[in-house]
Structure 1
Amino acid sequence: MSLTDLRAYIEHLRGLGEIQDVAAPVALDLELGAIVRRCYETRSPAPLFTAFSDHPAGFRILGAPAGLGRQPGRQLIRVAASLDMPLDSTGHDIVSALAGSLDLPAIDPVIVDTAPCFENVTIGDAVDLTRLPVPLLHCGDGGRYLNTWGCIVARTPDGSWTNWSIARMMLLDGRRMTGLVAAEQHVGMVARRWADLGKPMPFALALGVEPSIPFICGMPLPAQVNEAGRLGAFLQRPLRTVRCRTVDLEAPASAEILIEGHLHLDEMAEEGPMGEFAGYLWSGGAMKRPVYHVSALSHRNDAILPVVVAGEPVEENHTAWGIPTAAVILHDLRVAGLPVTTAWCPFEAALHWLVVTVPRDWRRRSGAEGGQQFCRRIGEVVFGSKAGALIPKVIVVPDDVDPTDTKELVWAFATRCHPLEGHATFEHIAAAPLLAYLRTSEKISASTGKIVYNGLPPDEWGEMLPIRASFRHGYPAEIVARVTDRWQEYGFDPVGP
C-alpha cells in the first residue's frame, strides 16, 4: 500500500490502532513534549494533537511519527508502514531491503503543477512563522524547534546535486530560523559552494511529507547522490515534487507546510541547547549557528506539523537514522568483499553501537588470518565511510546471534568477547561531536578513538561453535516444532512471535 502523504499515513495508522487522537487542549510549552516522550517510553500510539491551550486553532501536531509500537511481533509497524513494507517486517527485513535498493537504478522525481500546501500562501513581509504551533520540547531547550522531522532541500549552484536532508531548526522570530549546519554534512557542503560565490543558499523546508521521505533524509548516502532518486529506487515509483514560489527549487509535493528562503553562512545566531539522540541535554550548550531567512510560507488547511522529541531511546533518530545507517554500512561492507550477514544499530545504544554478524565460514571467505585482522578490516570500512562517521563501537559476532534482539545481543557480548584479546582499536579517527561521552578536546577536534569488539570464536577453534543451550538452538527441529504446535495444549497461554 503506497502512502503518498501524511494524512493517508495517519489514517492507515489509525486503522492499525497506532494513532491516539488528543482533543484536550495541550500546552506547547513542555506539556506536548512530555506527552510525546511518554508515548515513546510506553510504546503508546502516536499522539495527534488537535487543540492547544497556548496557541490559536488552525493547525495540528503529530508526535512520534516513526516510534516503536507495542503490538506483539510488530514493534516496527510504523517504520514498515512508512516504507511501504509488510507490517510484520523485522529489522533484518528492513535493513536488507534498504541495502538491496542501493544497487538499483535511481528513479528521479516528477514535477507536478501544484500541491495542497499552496492552499495558503504568504510571501515576503507577510510571512510570520509564529503562526505555526512551534513547541518548546524539553525543559532546558534554548528555543522552540520547528524542524525535527522535515525535509531540507538544497541544490548546488551548478545544479548537479540536489540534497534532501534532515537537521534541527530553531525558531528565532517570524522570518528567521537557525540550526545545525555542519561543514562535513551535505547541507553544509552545498551551503559552502554558494558562500564561495558570495551568495546565500536557497533552501526549502518541507514539513509533514509522505512518511518514507524522512528515512531517506536520514540515510547517510555519499556526496553527489540525490536522495529523491534513491528513494524512488527503493519504492519503485517516482516521488512527486512541486516548484517553490520564491526559490529555484522543487520540494516534496506531499508537504503539509512548505517554508522557502535562503541560508546565510555569514550571519550567526545562538542555537540550542536541545535534548539530543544520545539521551542528554547539556545545559549552557548554546552555539553560534547560521541563520535561515524565510521568503515564503505555504500550508494546507488544518495543516499537520510532525514533531520528534529527541532523547533516550527509542525515538526517530534511532529508527529513521539508525536503520538506514545500518543498511548503508551493510552495503559498504559487501561492496568491500567482506562476508557479512547483516548489520544493525541496536536502538537502546542510541547510535553508539553497530553490530555486524558474519557466517561461520568467514575465515575461508575473507582470507583473513584471524579474528583480529578480520575485525580490523571491518573497522576500516565502517570508520572510513560517511555512514560510519558517527559510530564509535562495532561488535562483530557470528550470525547465530540475532542483533535485533537486545537480550540475545547482551548475552552474546558478555560471553563471547574476551576482555583482552582480538579487538581492533583505532586512534585519532574522525568522530561526530554529538557522541555523548566525548571530552571537550575531542569535540573540538572532532577526533577520538574507536573500536571493533571481537565476538568471534577464538582462532584456535576454527569454525567450531558450541551448541547454544536454548529452546531454539538446543533441540532437534522436529521437537521445537512439536512443542510450539502443542503449547496451548499443554495449558499455556499463546506466545507471540
Structure 2
Amino acid sequence: MSLTDLRAYIEALRGLGEVQDVTAPVALDLELGAIVRRCYETGSPAPFFSAFSDHPSGFRILGAPAGASRQPGMRLARVAVSLGLPPTAGGLDIVEAIAGSLDRPAIAPVVVDEAPCFENVATGDEVDLARLPVPMLHHGDGGRYLNTWGCIVARMPDGSWTNWSIARMMMVDGRRLTGIVAPQQHVGMVAKSWADLGRPMPFALALGVEPAIPFICGMPLPAHVDEGGRLGALLGRPVRTVRCRTVDLEAPASAEILIEGHLHLDEMVDEGPMGEFAGYVPPERVPRPVYRVSALSHRHDAILPVVVAGEPVEENHTAWGIPSAAQILHHLREAGIPATTAWIPLQAALHWLVVTVPRDWRRRTGIDTPEALCRRIGEIVFATKAGGVIPKVIVLNDDVDPTDLDELVWAFATRCHPLLGHVVFEQVPAAPLLAYLRQNEKMSGSTGKVVYNCLPPDEWGEALPIRASFRHGYPAGIVDRVRCRWSEYGFR
C-alpha cells in the first residue's frame, strides 16, 4: 500500500531499520550535509535530525529520503516503499512497475478543503524563509539550498497543463529564491508562456510531500502530460491536492511546508555553484531567474527533506535514474524494440544506460545486424527527454542482470569488441551538467554520444556461449540441489 504523507513514510522506514534518529544538535553549515553524504556512501539508514546547533527548534530534517541501503535484499527499500512496493523489490521490478503504469489511464488528483500545512501561515511582509532550517550542503556551494526534494507546481496560462517537477532552489533572502529554469525544462516552457503574456509565472513549492511524488517529479514524461495524473495511475488512486492561499494553483495536500509566489524571468540573481548528480561541484556561478514568495505555510514541527547531491548513490540516481529507465523502456517497446529491460546503473551517475534484448531480437524486429539494432536503439533513446541526459548506452543479451554491477562489468569487458563494438552519434542534444563536457558543448547543448554493441557477432546467429558460472553453467536440477543443501555443506 502506498503511503500518503511523509510522517507515515518515516515510521514505515523506522520499522525496517531504515531511519536513524539524530538527536544530538548538528550545524546546518556543512555538518548536516557531511552526515547525509556519509550515510549515502556507507548505505546507512536515512538520518532524521531534530536539533540544530545554529538554528532555533521547531523544525526537523530528513536526509537521504530515497538513498540506497546496505541491508541484504533491501538495497532499494526506500525507493520501493515510496512507490507502494514491497521493501525487497529489486531495480528491475521497480522499473517494470513504473513502465507498466504508463499504459494505464491517468487518475487525476482530487482537491480537498484543508491540509495540515496550513497550521502556520504567513503572507506578504510576514514571510521570512530564514525561519526554515536551510542548510549549506557542500563545501563550495554558492548558497543555502531550500529545495532539493520538493515538488514545484506550475500551470500554463490557459490551464491546459499542470506540471510537477524538481529543480534545485537556492535561498536569496527572506522573500526570494532562485534556481535553474532551463528553456528545455518543462517549468521553463511554462514560465515562458507566462512571460510571453508579460506576466510572472505563479508557482507553488511543496516540501515534505508523500513519498511517491518526488519520483514522478523526476520522471522525464513528455511535455503536456500532467505528472499528477500519471502518479495516480501508478499508485492506483488519486493524489490529494489543496488550493493555495495566494496563487491560483493546487499543491500536494501532504506537504509539510508550502511556499507560494511568482517566478520572474526578467529578474536575475547569481545562483550556484552546487554539488550535482555527476559527483562534482562545478565552478560556475550563473545568473538565474527569481522566485518571489508571497506565502509560507507549514505544519507544527515540520519536516524538511534534504538531498545532498554528489557521487552515487543518492536520489538523483534513484528517483531520477530509475523512472528515467522506465520511461525509456516504455519508448523502446512502443517503437517495436523487444527490450527485456532498461536500467541506469546507480553507480554510473546517469551517464550509462543498459538495454537488454532477447536472443531472438532479429525475428521480432526484422533488423538484420547487431550494429543496425544498436543504431536504432540509439536513435530512439537520444530523441527522448530522458536520453538528453544519457551519453552512453550499453546493449546486451538478457542473460545478463544489469542491476548486478559485477555481472555488468564482466559482460561489458568480455562482449564489447574494441574496434567494432560501438555506434557513434555526432552532435546530438545533451544536458549541460554532464561531467566531461567542454565549455563549447555546454553552450551549444550538444555533444557526441555512443551505443556500445555487446551482442554476439553476426555469424553466431541466436547462439550464446555457455557461461561458466553457478547460475548458468549447470543443469537446473544441480543448481537447485546445491542451493537446498548449502547449509548442509557447512556454509552459512
Per-residue CA shift, 1:156-206, capped at 9, x if unaligned?
Answer: 000000000000000000000000101000000000000000000000000
- Aligned partner of 1:178 in structure 2 is 178
Matches within 5 A, 1:251-330: 251-283=251-283, 285-330=284-329
The DSSP-based 3-state class of the residue aligned with 1:27 is coil
Q: Deviations over 1:291-339 (max 9, x none)?
A: 0000000000000000000000000000000000000000000000111
**1:366, distance to aligned residue in structure 2 (A):** 1.0
Please say if residues 371 and 422 of structure 1, whose CA atoms lie closer than 8 Å, have aligned partners that are also in contact.
no
Q: State the partner residue of 2:410.
A: 411
Asked if 1 retains the 8 angstrom alpha-carbon contact of 2:149 and 2:305, the reply is yes
Name the amino acid aligned to 2:336: G
Aligned position for 1:437: 436
Secondary structure class of the residue paired with 1:66 = coil
Amino acid at match of 2:257: I
Kindly provide the CA deviation profile for residues 127-162 of structure 1, in whole angstroms up to 9, marking residues without a partner as x.
000000000000000000000000000000000000
Q: 1:64–1:308: 8 Å Cα contact kept in structure 2?
A: yes
CA contact (8 A) 1:208 1:256 kept: yes
> In the alignment, what sits opposite 2:81?
81
Q: Quick check: 1:6–1:254 contact (8 Å CA) kept in 2?
A: yes
- The amino acid of 1:338's aligned partner reads I
SS in 1 for 2:133: coil
Identity percentage of aligned residues = 79
Letter in 1 for 2:447: T
Q: Is contact 1:395-1:455 (8 Å) kept?
A: yes
2:474 aligned partner: 475
Could you tell me which amino acid in structure 2 is paired with residue 39 of structure 1? C
Give runs of aligned pairs for residues 378-397 of structure 1, distance below 5 A.
Answer: 378-397=377-396
Secondary structure of 1:388 counterpart: helix
Distance 1:372 1:156 in 2: 42
Q: Which residue of 1 aligns with 2:422?
A: 423
Q: Does 1:249 align with 2:249?
A: yes
For residues 125 and 408 of structure 2, what CA distance do their matches in structure 1 show?
Answer: 55
Using the alignment, how far apart are the partners of 1:373 and 1:411 within structure 2?
24
Can you list the C-alpha shifts for 1:211-233, whole angstroms capped at 9, x where unaligned? 00000000000000000000000
Moved more, 145-154 or 1-10: 1-10
CA contact (8 A) 1:111 1:241 kept: yes
Partner of 2:57: 57
Residue 29 of structure 2 corresponds to residue 46 of structure 1 = no
Find the aligned partners of 1:132 and 1:251 in 2 and give their Cα distance: 19
> How big is the shift at 1:210?
0.1
Task: Name the SS of the counterpart of 1:295 in structure 2.
Answer: strand
Q: Residues 465-490 of structure 1: CA distance to partner in whole angstroms, max 9, x if unpaired?
A: 10000000000111111111111111
Q: For residues 68-126 of structure 1, give each alpha carbon's deviation from its aligned partner in whole angstroms, at most 9, with x where no partner exists.
A: 11111110000000000011111110000100100100000000001000000000010
Q: Could you tell me whether the CA contact under 8 Å between 1:33 and 1:135 is conserved in 2?
A: yes
Letter in 1 for 2:427: H
1:450 matched to 2:454? The reply is no
The residue number in structure 2 matching 1:11 is 11
Does the Cα contact within 8 Å between 2:352 and 2:393 map onto a contact in 1? yes
Contact 2:344–2:353 at 8 Å: present in 1 too?
yes
Q: 1 CA distance for matches of 2:402 and 2:293?
A: 44
Structure-2-length-normalised TM-score: 1.00
- Per the TM alignment, residue 422 of structure 1 is displaced from its structure 2 partner at its CA by 4.2
Distance in 1 between the 2:153 and 2:252 partners?
A: 9
CA distance in 2: counterparts of 1:235 and 1:301, whole angstroms: 28
- Structure 2 residue matching 1:21: 3-state secondary structure: strand
**1:137 aligned counterpart, secondary structure:** coil
For 1:222, the equivalent position in structure 2 comes to 222
Q: Does 1:98 align with 2:108?
A: no
Letter in 2 for 1:33: G
Q: Write the letter of the residue equivalent to 1:46.
A: A
Q: Secondary structure at the match of 1:71?
A: coil
Please state if 1:357 is matched with 2:394. Answer: no
The DSSP-based 3-state class of the residue aligned with 2:303 is: strand
Q: Does 1:372 align with 2:402?
A: no
Conserved in 2, the CA contact under 8 Å of 1:141 and 1:275? yes
Q: Is the Cα–Cα contact under 8 Å of residues 92 and 342 in structure 1 kept in the other structure?
A: yes
Residue type of the alignment partner of 2:438: R
Judged with a 3 Å threshold, the aligned counterparts in structure 2 of structure 1 residues 422 and 414 are, in CA distance, closer, same or farther, namely closer
Residues 13-60 of structure 1 show CA distances to partners (whole Å, capped at 9, x for unaligned) of 011111000000000000000000000000000000000000000000
Describe how 1:118-197 pairs up with structure 2 within 5 A: 118-197=118-197
How many angstroms apart in 1 are the aligned matches of 2:422 and 2:144? 43
Distance across 1 between alignment mates of 2:392 and 2:422: 11
State how far apart, in whole Å, the 2-side matches of 1:138 and 1:116 are.
32
Alignment-mate amino acid for residue 10 of structure 1: I
Letter of the 1:415 counterpart: T
| Maintained 8 Å contact 1:45/1:69 | yes
Please say if residues 208 and 305 of structure 1, whose CA atoms lie closer than 8 Å, have aligned partners that are also in contact: yes
Q: Is the 8 A contact 2:2 2:85 kept in 1?
A: no
Counterpart AA for 2:184: E
1:429 aligned counterpart, secondary structure = strand
- What is the distance in 2 between the residues matched to 1:59 and 1:422? 54
The code of the aligned residue for 1:114 comes to: E
2:112 — aligned with what? 112
Whole-angstrom distance in 2 between the partners of 1:234 and 1:259: 26
Contact in 2 for aligned 1:60/1:305 (Cα 8 Å): yes
Deviation at 1:2, TM superposition (A): 2.5
Unmatched 5+ stretches in structure 2: none
CA offset at residue 439 of structure 1? Answer: 0.5
- How far apart, CA to CA, are the structure 1 residues paired with 2:282 and 2:79? 29
Distance 1:115 1:28 in 2: 28
- In the alignment, the residues of structure 2 paired with residue 2 and residue 140 of structure 1 have an alpha-carbon distance, to the nearest angstrom, of 38
Q: CA RMSD in A?
A: 0.5
Deviation at residue 264 of structure 1 after TM alignment: 0.3
Structure 1 segments (4+ residues) deviating >4 Å: none
Contact 1:319 1:347 in 2 (8 A): yes
Distance 2:141 2:246 in 1: 31
Matched-pair contact (CA < 8 Å) for 2:169–2:178: yes
Q: Kindly indicate whether the alpha-carbon contact (under 8 Å) linking 2:130 and 2:173 is maintained by their aligned counterparts in 1.
A: yes
